[in-house]
Structure 1
């Protein structure tokens, strides 16, 4: 049986929480920031939680995390 491998793209994007969920950073923070409000940019700085429907696929991509 071959070795299980971690999906390296997913490993750079997600971190596992103590309760079994996954933290991820928000999108829309890279460019075209002048038209976005300061409040919106500030809230995008914080990490968010992955939607519960996506947790199963993230856990499959990160078997050792």
Structure 2
């Protein structure tokens, strides 16, 4: 008697998270820092320089973000 396969539902990726986050090859989650798009004349050069670097999510947030992106191994 052949075993019947149970179909699993496919999980949908949250599109907002897909646009905001990127998972690196080592599994870290990177994102673009805030306060970069407009009204920058009042900000100091240091603030703009610090915002230029991409951020790396902490471990607790990383798990939630990977769930939203349906990344394997979460």
TM category, shorter:
0.7 to 0.9
Q: Which structure has the highest strand share of the two? A: 1
Question: Given the alignment of the two structures, is residue 41 of structure 1 paired with residue 48 of structure 2, yes or no?
Answer: yes
Task: Tell me which of the two structures has the higher relative contact order, counting C-alpha pairs closer than 8 angstroms and 6 or more residues apart.
Answer: 1
**TM-score using structure 1 length:** 0.83
Bigger Cα Rg: 2
Question: Given the alignment of the two structures, is residue 11 of structure 1 paired with residue 11 of structure 2, yes or no?
Answer: no
Structure 1 runs of 4+ aligned residues shifted over 4 Å read none
- Consecutive unaligned residues of structure 1, counting only runs of 5 or more, are none
Secondary structure at 1:57 match in 2: helix
Q: CA RMSD in A?
A: 1.6
- Consecutive unaligned residues of structure 2, counting only runs of 5 or more, are 1-7
* Count of matched residue positions in the alignment of Structure 1 and Structure 2: 65
